[in-house]
């Protein structure tokens, strides 16, 4: 799996400011990182059934012919087996389709495990409860600890891939939305924005879907 990387920040961006009374102070701009594990339930299913990796695979809401497909892999989507279809309809499009239910608790347990793994790289980790597999990490100062944001992000990416077998996208930037949109638009790999302006320019090219 190849990883992509944008411009690498040389370190924290700091600006001088003047406090009341004429005293000078240093203001450090906050750095954020988004770690997005796309289609987490599907990845959990494939980890449980590694022999399915070369087949069309889907996560369904119940184990019946009328179960609704919630997530599907690339091979399934090539046959138009997409979320919203019934499992029976998916089978009519490709008879080799594999599908199973992934329970909410199983996903929640994986998210909890991910939080613990991410805390090896930042003490401040937030999990999005509405979108399992989406995390924000406060990255301020971690470039100095790891010798650069490129090193930090690449180690995080490799750690999750090797320790948990997960595909993940990591973006280091300046805003929560910017890092989220970039990670969601650029699956698998790591990217670093060297300035708020470069993040904003990139966001102008991200499709809304």
Region 142-164: mean pLDDT is 90
Distance CA 150, CA 86 (A): 43
**Highest-pLDDT range among 10-24, 90-104, 127-141, 170-184:** 90-104
Lowest mean pLDDT among 13-22, 34-43, 67-76: 13-22
Q: Mean pLDDT across the chain, nearest whole number?
A: 85
CA angle 61, 38, 205 (to 5 degrees): 130
> Could you give phi then psi for residue 169, rounded to 5 degrees?
-120, 125
Would you say 97 and 90 are in contact if contact means Cβ atoms under 8 Å apart? Answer: yes
Lowest mean pLDDT among 51-60, 132-141, 187-196: 187-196
Inter-helix orientation angle 40-48/104-118, to 10° = 100
Residue 98 Cα distances to 5, 39, 72, 83, 95, angstroms: 34, 16, 10, 14, 9
């Amino acid at each position: 799996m190849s990883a992509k990387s944008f411009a690498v920040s040389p370190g924290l961006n700091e600006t001088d400011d003047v406090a009341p009374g004429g005293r000078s102070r240093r203001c450090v701009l906050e750095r954020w990182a988004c770690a997005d594990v796309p289609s987490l339930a599907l990845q959990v299913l494939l980890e449980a059934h590694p022999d399915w990796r070369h087949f069309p695979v889907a996560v369904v809401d119940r184990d019946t012919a009328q179960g609704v497909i919630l997530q599907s892999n690339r091979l399934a989507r090539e046959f138009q087996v997409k979320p919203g279809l019934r499992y029976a309809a998916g089978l009519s499009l490709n008879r080799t389709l594999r599908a199973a239910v992934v329970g909410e608790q199983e996903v929640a347990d994986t998210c909890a495990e991910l939080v613990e793994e991410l805390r090896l790289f930042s003490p401040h980790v937030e999990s999005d409860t509405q979108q399992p597999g989406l995390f924000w990490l406060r990255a301020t100062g971690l470039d100095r600890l790891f010798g650069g944001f490129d090193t930090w992000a690449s180690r995080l990416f490799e750690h999750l891939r090797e320790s948990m077998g997960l595909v993940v996208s990591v973006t280091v930037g300046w805003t929560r939305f910017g890092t989220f949109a970039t990670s969601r638009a650029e699956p698998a790999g790591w990217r670093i924005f060297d300035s708020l302006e470069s993040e904003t320019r990139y966001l102008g090219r991200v499709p809304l879907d």
